[in-house]
Each structure stands twice: as structure tokens, then as C-alpha cells.
Amino acid sequence: MAVAPSSSSSAHLQLVAAALTSLIPGSKVITKDDPLYKTLKDPKPLTYQVMSQNVIVETRPEPDPTIVVPLEKTMDIELQPLAHDTSDEPTSGGGTSSNMVITVQFLNGQFYKFSVDHRATVYALKWSIFKSKGFDEYSQYDVNNIVLTFGRKELNDDDRLLKDYSIKNGSIIQFAVKLRAAADQQS
């Protein structure tokens, strides 16, 4: 049985302990505030070594930076799709034509254009927005907290292609971000 150190936020630690119990097979993680702690003869402290042997953190690789390329910031935008969409038409080489251009609208009313390859996923667009707008400099932002919507539908599957959501040349996607601080205060 592993024991997590005591803290003033006992409820939060109990929640973390329960989560860790589910991740470490054959163990029960408790806090020192837990009544069960006083009954233990030889409690084992939760160490990095125990964690590293039992818990794996998967991180997403950075997408190919050529899949979604930021273009210029645009103040005045025509809110209609382009007259002729060639993004799905074959070229003479047998593949698809050049990248499509989509626009991302921020909550503050600013618009940014991105050149998007037909292989682009939702995550690739989120990553490009995150990197090109300098969000990684601010600790309250996280690429996983970016919320994109198109046609009032949230693009919630990061692994899906943008074209699977019927996004095509000239589409406008709305951008929002969930702040970590706001999420922490609600807990």
C-alpha cells in the first residue's frame, strides 16, 4: 500500500489517490489523512520509482509543421466561401490540388488564415494555432484546452481529418480556449 503525503487539500489528494490506485495494479494508494493509514504496520511511501514502474504518460508528437501553415492576420474578411472550391479536384499529377485556405475566428473578433493540407487533422490545426500565436509562453494555455467549432459543431476528435468535418477551402472555424486557472477554481 503506497501513501501519498498529507496536505491541506485533503479532498483533492483523496481524488488523486483514487486515480493512482486505478493506475497501479495490485496497490491501493491512500493519503495520510485516510483512517486506514493509522491501521497500517509498514506503509510504503509513494515514490517516483513506484510511479515510473507503473504509470505511463503518453504524449502526442508534434505534427508535421508543413501540414498547417499560418498565413497573415486578416482584419476584414468576407464571410462567404470562395466561389470555386478546388480542394477536392484532382490535378494532372493524379493527387489532389494545392492546400486549401481556411480562416480561424478568435473570440476577440480577429481572423487568421491558415494554409491547410488535405491530410490535416484537428490536432494539427490546434497545434499550429497554439505555436503561431505564442500561447506556449503562457502557463494558463495548453494545446489540449483549445476548442474549435465549425457550423456550431465542436471538432472534438483530434485525430479526425478536417475534411471529415466538411471543412473545405474558404471555411471559417471558431476558436476558443479553456483556461486552466478557471478549471482549477471550479474544482
Same structural domain, 90 and 166: yes
Q: Which neighbouring-strand residues pair with 117?
A: none
81 and 49 in one domain? Answer: no
Instruction: List the CATH number of the domain containing 92.
Output: 3.10.20.90
Q: What is the helix (H) or strand (E) element at residue 172, kind and residue range? A: strand 172-177
Domain that holds residue 50: 2-54
pTM of the model: 0.57
pLDDT higher at 162 or 26: 162
The end-to-end CA distance of the chain, in Å, is 27
Residue 156 maps to a domain: yes
Per mean pLDDT, which range of 12-16, 155-159, 170-174 is the poorest?
Answer: 12-16
Residue 24 lies in a domain: yes
Q: Does 141 map to a domain? A: yes
Domain contains 142: yes
Looking at the fold, whether 105 and 140 belong to one and the same domain comes out as yes
Whether 61 maps to a domain, the answer reads no
Note whether 81 and 163 are same-domain residues.
Answer: yes
- One-letter amino acid identity for 75? M
Question: For the chain, how many helices (H) and strands (E)?
Answer: 4, 9
C-alpha atoms less than 13 angstroms from C-alpha of 91 in its C-beta half-sphere? 7
| pLDDT tens, position by position, 52-82 | 776 666 667 888 989 999 986 555 444 443 3
Domain assignment present for residue 59? The answer is no
Structurally, how many domains does the chain consist of? Answer: 2
pLDDT tens by residue, 91-129:
334 344 578 999 999 988 899 999 999 999 999 999 998
